[in-house]
């Protein structure tokens, strides 16, 4: 079947999360038909998987203006702007009503399995850009379908591809075999079955971002309850502890985000969690009781734990975009023009400059990665960034370059400055390899007598050996 004329075709949006639904609203605002394809059975399917987690942004910061315009005629009103939704609130009170207004422009149970140019694989140049996109879909009921599109906005997020426990970015040896004791999400301790899994247990938490802070704070709260007595967190850090380890604290312009780091610090200070620094997980073994023994790259072994919570960030799933000519940064897997703006190796304070269609463009014209996926492996994505991205892209697709180029966004600073890589960058290299003279990983009891703390502070904050 020959591909129809491009201009009559919709813009396909992959994913009915915050960024995808905002993209649809902005396209409609520009008089362009969107077709939103969502793998899940509801809007915000990924957000619903962290329904129990409260956002660190207020309602005022997570509602897209064009979406609000679409919702207003239905009598929808934004919840109190200064209050903080949970993931569940965000999905139920905003994302689903928005998807309902978009009606049959949103298809559920429609997983995108491939995107290409109609009749042109990745190699073929011949009048490539005159061809529409072809999008392959696997429906939940087993049917397959293809649809044509004038442009494709991939807002499929990164939730489905969390990072592993392994210190080198690969799953640690034995990690797959230990899957029954490992979670890659902040646990919902209000769920009795989940609560029982962690109550009174020793749980390793790997990671150093907002989610790891949240998990440590949740475990500490559990430990303070009657049915949670004896609950202990073991916080595994690939680096030493430094001033920025707990985030920006009071300096964070998103106070609720700053508070997460402070809650994690309190969990360690009050003894509900031990911080183990300079530990790069290489293998996960079992002891005779089936408990997990984490082994570091240098062979050091931790006391057995009952459970592990791995929160080492996310990666983009690029597999279904293989037939397209994308320009992605080799480190972050983010668009090359955006990467320098968000690279944690370089960037501090969480200041991300307003960016739009130009920074999100690829050699393949007409395809854009937006939202959480646009950041690739970089942390600190905020919903309001995604909203500005899709506003600019919709204007660009409509041909209104003035508006598309007028990107305006002021992001709240994290209060954490200093590039030097992801804050758990591998500073503590093996002595053997002539690298750092870093001290052995040590159990840190913050608030404990100065000596121990002092040792931790000496842990490399910058380059090797304090350089
Ligand atoms: C625990 C947590 C807390 C956060 N808190 C905040 C906060 O307070 N403030 C803030 O600004 N940001 C926050 N974020 C970051 C970010 O805003 C959210 O992750 C947001 O959900 C990202 O929106 P998105 O639309 O890009 O991706 P997602 O919400 O992940 O949506 C992607 C959608 O695409 C669908 N999908 C995936 N693959 C396919 C496919 N192949 N075909 C079809 N559909 C597909 C998924 O089912 C999903 O519904 C938080 C993130 C997490 C994980």
Query: Does the pLDDT at position 115 exceed 80?
Result: yes
Question: Does residue 434 have a pLDDT over 90?
Answer: no
Structurally, how many domains does the chain consist of? 2
Is the distance from the beta carbon of residue 99 to the nearest atom of ligand 1 less than 6 Å? Answer: no
The pLDDT value recorded for residue 409 is 67
Q: Is residue 383 part of a domain?
A: yes
- The SS3 of residue 313 is coil
Which residue, judged by its Cα, is nearest atom 13 of ligand 1? 382
Is the pLDDT at 193 greater than 60, yes or no?
A: yes
Q: What is the CATH number of the domain that holds 32?
A: 3.50.50.60
Burial bucket for residue 321 (CB in 10 Å: 0-12, 13-18, 19+):
buried
Quick check: 337 and 361 in contact, CB under 8 A?
Answer: yes
On whether residue 51 sits in a domain, the answer given is yes
Residues 102 and 20 in one domain: yes
Closest-CA residue to 17 (of 157, 184, 158): 157
Query: For the purposes of burial, counting CB atoms within 10 Å of the CB of 410, is it exposed (0-12), middle (13-18) or buried (19 or more)?
Result: exposed
* Domain-embedded: residue 241: yes
Is residue 159 within 6 Å of ligand 1 at its C-beta?
yes
36 lines ligand 1 (CB under 6 A): no
Ligand 1 centroid vs 338 CA: distance in angstroms?
19
pLDDT band at 447 (very low <50, low <70, confident <90, very high): very low
Question: In the chain, helix, strand, coil percent, each to 5?
Answer: 30, 15, 50
Specify the pLDDT at position 2. 57
Q: Are residues 85 and 227 in the same domain?
A: no
**Domain presence at residue 170:** no
Determine, yes or no, domain membership for 143.
yes
Interval 3-27 mean pLDDT: 92
Mean pLDDT across the stretch 251-259?
81
pLDDT for position 429: 44
pLDDT of 441 reads 40
Q: Is 448 found in the same domain as 401? A: no
Q: Is 376 in the pocket of ligand 1 (CB under 6 A)?
A: no
Q: Is ligand 1 within 6 A of the CB of residue 39?
A: yes
What's the mean per-residue pLDDT of the chain? 88
Closest atom of ligand 1 to 22 CA is 25
Give the pairing type, strands 292-296 and 281-286: antiparallel
The reply to whether 296 falls in a domain is: yes
Ligand 1 pocket, residue 152 CB under 6 Å: no
First CA to last CA across the chain, in angstroms? Answer: 64
Residue the block writes with tokens 């304090």: 466
CA 250 distance to own-chain centroid: 23
Are 290 and 236 part of one and the same domain? yes
Q: What is the pTM of this model?
A: 0.89
Domain finish residue from 383, 405, 427: 405
Read out DSSP for 111-158?
A: EEEEEEETTB-TT--TTGGGSPEEEEEEETTS-EEEEEESEEEE---S
453, part of any domain? yes
**281 and 423 fall within a common domain:** yes
Q: Report if residue 391 sits inside a domain.
A: yes
283, 197: one domain: yes
* Structural domain span for residue 34: 6-156+352-405
Please report, for residues 155, 187, 261, the alpha-carbon distance to residue 314 in angstroms, rounded to integers and kept in the order given: 14, 17, 19
Same domain, 48 and 122: yes
Query: Distance from the CA of 146 to the center of ligand 1, in angstroms?
Result: 25
In ligand 1, the atom with minimum distance to the C-alpha of 382 is 11
pLDDT over threshold 50, residue 426: no
Give the sheet arrangement for strand 144-149, strand by strand.
110-117, 133-139, 144-149
E strand spans, 311-410: 367-369
CA pair distance 79, 44, nearest whole angstrom: 18
Ligand 1 pocket, residue 300 CB under 6 Å:
no
pLDDT per residue as tens digits for the range 147-188: 999 999 999 999 999 999 999 999 999 999 999 999 999 999
In short, whether 53's Cβ falls inside 6 Å of ligand 1 is yes
Q: Are residues 147 and 208 in the same domain?
A: no
Question: What confidence tens digit (pLDDT) does each residue in 198-235 have?
Answer: 999 999 999 999 999 999 999 999 999 999 999 999 99
Atom of ligand 1 nearest to the CA of 84: 8
3-state SS, residue 283: strand
431 shares a domain with 401: no
Provide the 8-state DSSP code for 92.
I
Q: What is the pLDDT of residue 294?
A: 98
* Single residue among 364, 380, 405 that ends a domain in this structure: 405
pLDDT computed for residue 181 by the predictor: 98
- Please report the pLDDT score of residue 435 as a whole number: 42
Q: Distance between CA atoms of 405 and 392, rounded to whole angstroms? A: 7
Domain co-membership, 41 together with 118: yes
Domain boundary, last residue among 360, 382, 405: 405
Ligand 1 proximity of 390 Cβ (cutoff 6 Å): no
Q: Are residues 200 and 130 in the same domain?
A: no
Report CA(342)–ligand 1 centroid distance (Å). Answer: 18
Same domain, 37 and 147: yes
Residue nearest atom 38 of ligand 1, based on CA coordinates: 156
Q: Parallel, antiparallel, or unpaired: how do β-strands 110-117 and 133-139 relate?
A: antiparallel
Closest CA to 266 of 216, 323, 198, 231: 216
């Amino acid at each position: 079947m020959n591909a129809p004329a491009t201009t009559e075709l919709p813009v396909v949006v992959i994913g009915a999360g915050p960024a995808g639904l905002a993209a649809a609203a902005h396209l409609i605002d520009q008089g362009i038909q969107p077709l939103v394809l969502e793998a899940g059975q509801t809007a915000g399917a990924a957000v619903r998987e962290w329904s129990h987690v409260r956002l660190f942004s207020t309602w005022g910061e997570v509602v897209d203006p064009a979406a609000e315009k679409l919702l207003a005629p239905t009598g929808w009103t934004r919840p109190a702007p200064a209050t903080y939704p949970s993931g569940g609130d965000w999905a139920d009170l905003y994302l689903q009503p928005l998807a309902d207004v978009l009606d049959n422009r949103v298809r559920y149970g429609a997983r995108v399995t491939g995107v290409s140019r109609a009749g042109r694989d990745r190699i073929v140049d011949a009048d490539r850009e005159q061809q529409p996109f072809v999008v392959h879909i696997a429906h939940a009921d087993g049917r397959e379908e293809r649809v044509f599109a004038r442009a494709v906005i991939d807002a499929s997020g990164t939730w489905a591809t969390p990072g592993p426990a392994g210190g080198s970015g690969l799953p640690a040896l034995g990690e797959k075999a230990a899957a029954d004791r490992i979670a890659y999400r902040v646990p919902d301790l209000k769920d009795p079955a989940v609560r029982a899994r962690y109550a009174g247990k020793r749980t390793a938490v790997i990671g150093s971002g907002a989610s790891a802070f949240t998990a440590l704070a949740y475990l500490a709260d559990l430990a303070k309850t009657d049915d949670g007595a004896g609950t202990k967190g073991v916080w595994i850090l690939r680096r030493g502890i430094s001033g920025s380890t707990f985030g920006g604290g009071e300096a964070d312009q998103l106070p609720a985000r700053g508070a997460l780091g402070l809650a994690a610090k309190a969990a360690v200070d009050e003894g509900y969690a031990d911080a183990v620094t300079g530990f790069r997980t290489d293998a996960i073994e079992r002891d005779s009781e089936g408990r997990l023994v984490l082994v570091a790259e240098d062979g050091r072994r931790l006391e057995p734990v009952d459970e592990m919570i791995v929160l080492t960030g996310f990666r983009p799933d690029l597999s279904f975009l293989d037939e397209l000519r994308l320009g992605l940064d080799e480190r972050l897997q983010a668009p090359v023009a955006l990467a320098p703006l968000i690279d944690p190796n370089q960037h501090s304070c969480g200041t991300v400059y307003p960016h739009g269609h130009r920074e999100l463009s690829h050699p393949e014209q007409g395809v854009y990665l937006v939202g959480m996926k646009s950041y690739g492996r970089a942390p600190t994505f905020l919903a309001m960034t995604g909203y500005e991205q899709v506003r600019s892209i919709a204007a660009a697709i409509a041909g209104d370059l003035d508006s598309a180029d007028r990107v305006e966004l002021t992001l709240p600073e994290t209060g954490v400055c200093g590039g030097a890589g992801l804050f758990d960058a591998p500073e503590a290299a093996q002595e053997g390899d002539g690298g750092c003279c870093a001290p052995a990983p040590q159990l840190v009891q913050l608030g404990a007598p100065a000596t121990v703390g002092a040792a931790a502070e000496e842990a490399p904050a910058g380059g090797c050996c304090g350089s």
